[in-house]
Amino acid sequence: MSDPTEPRGDAPDRNDLDADVAIEEPGAVASGVPSPGTTSTPATGDEVEPPSRWHTMLRQISTGNAIISVLSVLLALLVGAVMIAFTDERVQAASGYFFARPGDTFVAIWESVSGAYSALFQGSIYNFRRDTFAAGIRPLTETLTFATPLIAGGLGVGLAFRVGMFNIGGRGQMLIAASVAGWIGFAVDLPMGLHMLVALVGGLLGGALWAGIAGLLKARTGAHEVIVTIMLNYVAFYLVSWMLRTPGLLQAPGSSNPKTPAMKETAIFPQLLGPQYNLHFGFILVIAATILVWWILSRSSLGFKFRAVGENPNAARVAGINVSSMYVYAMLIAGALLGLAGVSQVLGTVTTGFTAGIDAGIGFDAITVALLGRSTPWGIFVAGILFGAFKAGGFSMQAAEGVPVEIVLVVQSLIVLFIAAPPLVRTIFRLPDPKAGPKRPRPIVTKEVDAK
């Protein structure tokens, strides 16, 4: 009679094996070397230890959209550094005798790139060469001034993106808003404070109504907003150009130039830090607009409907959402935000009269800002400040180091290129793919089983 404690040669039950774990060879048992005639098989019922919070946080950061935006900016700056080095005369001269004295070439490259980006910093953030802090901080105020219309325009474009609409009519909406606010600013007599408020509201309504045309056409006829907004850009430009050449409309009295009169003092935005800086009340308005858009998208029922329509308009329609109305509402709000960009230009930045070029390409730059900010309000806010720094520092680079200002435009374009190709950025920096979930650790706990 056999001993009941003696190991049997029977195969283990199928339920005792985990199909996901391979049978390990003898000697893999952590407790020691198994006896001859036994093999190790995985034991069941063992729970896999979940990943740590640090591991989860690092994965969320490496697969998030924010890291793609940051790395896109770094890549664009790196490519910009290469272009700066290639176009620098000192680098070209030193490369002529590279094989004789290679160190001179590398020194020249370092001096050209570091000098250019140092000038960019001192022209956009803080100028260490100034004697006082008040003078040194002026570049930062210029950055915020340039960023003011970019943030407002980016919010308008980004809001439309969230509803699934591509609003590229920022130029036309800015021009109409600037014309309405500008006309109220120089042709109407009102008390201080009230005059500015009326001009501001008039400009917002002008931009909203001009964008609302595209939203209404899309809602009623299905017309694509890209085509409509492009055409409205041309209509607005030639309409404003005609009014600037017509006495009694926008043209300054007694002048043949296509330019408006100066804005009245009662309609101009007040300066935030005094007359020695250009930063004006428009920056406070874009901060308020950023908070408002964040609240609409994140905390209101209207924002929920916007996001639902943007994700799937058919499913939103089945859920009872009036998709056509959402298109109209979204374009009205987007047009008002871009109208704020136009108003800040004529009542804050250019108060001596404006021409048909008052938009200064901001309507199209707003698309870049919205893309970099991932169509989120605070992301757009940060992206607007970054591009404002590029605008403010680009002139300093050109003046101090002789770097062509077009290189800054190339850097901005490269940022959009890298943002539009996240797989490229992930491949360069070896980031994990967010679509591929974290791998489940495989248990290595084993169980000794007799081998026949």
For 374, residues 6+ apart whose C-beta sits below 8 A from its C-beta are 65, 66, 69
- CA separation (Å) from 405 to 202, 260, 409, 418, 422? 35, 29, 7, 21, 27
Task: List all residues 6 or more positions away from 449 whose beta carbon is below 8 Å from its beta carbon.
Answer: 11, 12, 38, 39, 40, 41
Q: Name the maximum alpha-carbon separation found in the chain.
A: 125
CA angle 423, 425, 431 (to 5 degrees): 80
- Within 8 A by CB and 6+ apart from 262, the residues are 186, 351, 352, 353
Would you say 237 and 175 are in contact if contact means Cβ atoms under 8 Å apart? yes
Contact 381, 290 (CB under 8 A): yes
What DSSP string runs through 17-28?
Answer: S-TTSPPBPTT-
Query: In the chain, what is the straight-line distance between the N-terminal and C-terminal CA atoms, in Å?
Result: 20
**CB-neighbour burial class of residue 239 (10 A; exposed 0-12, middle 13-18, buried 19+):** middle
Spatial separation of the C-alpha atoms in residues 242 and 251, rounded to whole Å? 9
> From the CA atom positions of the chain, what is the Rg in Å?
31
The backbone region for 443, taken as left when phi is positive above 0, alpha when psi lies in -120 to 50, beta otherwise, is beta
Residue pair 290/156 in contact by the 8 Å Cβ criterion:
no
Whole-model pTM? 0.80
Of 380, 330, 374, 362, which Cα lies nearest the Cα of 155?
A: 380
Per-residue pLDDT tens listing for the chain (452 residues): 445 444 444 444 544 444 444 444 444 444 444 555 555 555 454 555 666 776 666 666 656 677 888 888 889 889 989 998 888 888 889 888 888 888 899 999 999 999 888 988 998 898 888 888 888 899 999 999 999 999 999 999 999 999 999 999 999 999 999 999 999 999 999 999 899 999 999 999 999 999 999 999 999 998 999 999 999 999 999 999 999 998 888 988 888 889 999 999 999 999 998 888 999 999 999 999 999 999 999 999 999 999 999 999 999 999 999 999 999 999 999 999 999 999 999 999 999 999 998 988 898 899 989 988 888 999 999 999 999 998 888 888 888 778 887 888 888 888 888 887 888 888 888 877 766 655 555 555 555 555 44
User: How far apart, in Å, are the Cα atoms of 292 and each of 212, 253, 333, 373?
Assistant: 19, 39, 11, 16
Token look-up 């308020």 returns 288
Residue 118, token pair as written in the block: 């140092």
The three-state (H, E, C) secondary structure of 93-161, written as one string: HHHCCCCCCHHHHHHHHHHHHHHHHHHHHHHHCCCCCCCCHHHHCHHHHHHHHHHHHHHHHHHHHHHHH
Cα–Cα distance, 310 to 294 (Å, whole number) = 16
* Segments of 17-90 assigned E as strands: 38-42
Nearest to 177 by CA among 100, 223, 239: 239
